[in-house]
Amino acid sequence: MAAISVKIINKSANPLPAYATADAAGMDLRASLETAISLQPLERVLVPTGLYIELPSGYEAQIRPRSGLAIKQGLTLLNTPGTIDADYRGEIKIIMVNLSNEPQAIAPGERIAQMIIAPFVQAHLETVELLTDTARGAGGFGHTGKS
């Protein structure tokens, strides 16, 4: 497993993000809050993390929901996965939404999202008149009839 160096500034009272296990893909991000906040059903909020990162060129940080928050509290993330580009230097903030039928609290230091660091490629778009035929063709959503 390859590792890369990512520079980070932590202006929160929370520990740095870390991998929970040797084979974990994501690091947990925590809410950098003075006091707990409450989200009403279908309400969304931008939650600060107090973290600022500098990624190497050719890498992105993907921000994803935590499954435990989703199943237990109905809290998830909008714009998922969110992408942090290598040239972004602002604070990482998490767009959370409450999809449950009850108000849900987010406590200071609570683990609210996962961050995955991944390489990417940039595409060169080539304008053409026709695309290569395939067995699928233009078949889209549900085209196979399988569940």
Burial of 3 (0-12, 13-18, 19+ CB in 10 A): exposed
Q: List the one residue out of 101, 105, 90 whose CA is nearest residue 33.
A: 105
Which pLDDT value is given to residue 145?
Answer: 66
Domains of the chain plus CATH, in order, are: 25-119 (2.70.40.10)
User: pLDDT tens across 20-77, in order?
Assistant: 999 999 999 999 999 999 999 999 999 999 999 999 999 999 999 999 999 999 999 9
Q: Tell me, what's the pLDDT at 56?
A: 97
Per-residue model confidence (pLDDT) at position 147: 57
C-alpha distances (whole Å) from 126 to each of 53, 58, 120, 134 are: 33, 21, 19, 19
What does the pLDDT read at residue 67? 93
pLDDT tens per residue, range 64-119: 999 999 999 999 999 999 999 999 999 999 999 999 999 999 999 999 999 999 99
Q: Which residue has the tokens 């947990």?
A: 28
**In the 8-state DSSP scheme, what is residue 124?**
P
pLDDT value at position 146?
66
Q: Which pLDDT belongs to residue 140? A: 79
What pLDDT, on the 0 to 100 scale, is given for residue 26? 96
Which tens digits make up the pLDDT trace of 126-146? Answer: 999 999 999 888 887 776 666
Helices marked H in 43-93 — which ranges?
A: 67-73
What was the pLDDT predicted at 121?
Answer: 95
| Of 59, 66, 77, 64, the residue nearest 117 (C-alpha) | 59
Please report the pLDDT score of residue 142 as a whole number: 72
